[in-house]
Amino acid sequence: METPSVLIDSARRAELKNNPRAEFTRAIQQKDLAACLLKTAEIHGHFCPGSALGVMASVWGLSRLCLDSSLSDGLEELMAIVEINACFADGVQAVSGCTLGNNALVYRDLGKHAVTFTVRGSDTGVRVRVRPDFQSQISRAVPEFYPLLEKVIIKRGGGPEAAAAFKATARKAAFALIELPFEHLLISQLTTPQLPDYAPIAASLICPVCGEQVMASKVVSEGEAKGLCYACAKQQTWQVEGRGIVIQ
């Protein structure tokens, strides 16, 4: 017998076991942006304009291609190329189902609020970007947002009360943005996307120094440290972090 879940009744659990994105897909098809934003915040942790814009860009982009995220079962059919590693990217990952872990997300380190969607084998994609004047739209919808952002996030001041006020204001801004027409905040263009190949299925090796399993493509290939993992070989590697893709 299955262990009862405190969160999910058995009928819903059965549906989600069959299609984990069933509920999310319905929300996307119905353009229920509030439901999409709530789902996004489950992974993003808070409500903010950036993640709301990622949600909107994804719902609009997928609908322009007559796709929905049911194509994204983590097998790299639907692909997203996201150009920023900020809140926006979590709206993209949540709505499209294209994530770092399933290799359907390509991170292109351009620092732009933009995402391109396409399906493998198709030469058509859509790139959706945020309008350069989106901040004035946010200011118009929620005038207190940028002053509080400056005080709490940029100057790191104001104490817990200001922090709570900022959180509430960011939530208000996020839910205000999703009420606006897509065209007020976003621009979409059909494109021919450049996709990398499918993620390679690499064999695994055991590093002789640390004893840990490592992808065969991620060990030193020649010289004294041949066969060692990069960590044991003290070799420089790249990492995605707040600054983008940088050498570690």
Q: Which span (4-12, 81-89, 91-99, 107-115) binds Zn ion, by CB under 5 A? A: 81-89
Binding Zn ion (rule: CB under 5 A), the pick from 28, 65, 78, 87 is 87
Answer whether 99's CB lies under 8 Å from 80's CB. no
CB-wise, 64 or 172, nearer to Zn ion? 172
Shortest reach from residue 183's CB to Zn ion, in Å: 23
Interface with Zn ion (CB under 5 A), residue total 9
Shortest reach from residue 86's CB to Zn ion, in Å: 7
Q: For the window 228-247, what string marks contact with Zn ion as x by the rule CB under 5 A?
A: -x--x---------------
d(CA 49, CA 177): 7
Answer whether 68's CB lies under 8 Å from 129's CB. no
DSSP bridge partners of 240: 245
Shortest reach from residue 6's CB to Zn ion, in Å: 27
Q: Which span (7-15, 21-29, 34-42, 199-207) binds Zn ion, by CB under 5 A? A: 199-207
According to the binding rule CB under 5 A, does residue 48 interact with Zn ion?
yes
CB-wise, 20 or 111, nearer to Zn ion? 111
According to the binding rule CB under 5 A, does residue 207 interact with Zn ion?
yes
Answer whether 209's CB lies under 8 Å from 200's CB. no
- List of residues 6+ apart from 216 with CB closer than 8 A: 202, 203, 204, 205
Q: Which span (19-27, 35-43, 157-165, 204-212) binds Zn ion, by CB under 5 A? A: 204-212
From first CA to last CA, the distance across the chain in angstroms is 48
| CA-CA-CA-CA dihedral for 16, 61, 85, 213, to nearest 10 | 50
Shortest reach from residue 173's CB to Zn ion, in Å: 11
Q: Which span (43-51, 142-150, 159-167, 239-247) binds Zn ion, by CB under 5 A? A: 43-51
CB-wise, 78 or 229, nearer to Zn ion? 229
Binding Zn ion (rule: CB under 5 A), the pick from 164, 210, 216, 240 is 210
With b for 16 or more beta-carbon neighbours within 10 A and e for fewer, the 19-37 pattern comes to eebeebbebbeeebbebbb
Q: Which span (46-54, 65-73, 108-116, 186-194) binds Zn ion, by CB under 5 A? A: 46-54
Strands 204-206 and 213-215: antiparallel
- List of residues 6+ apart from 128 with CB closer than 8 A: 57, 58, 60, 61, 64, 114, 115, 116, 117, 186, 187, 188
Answer whether 50's CB lies under 8 Å from 87's CB. yes
* Binding interface with Zn ion (CB under 5 A): 48, 50-51, 87, 207, 209-210, 229, 232
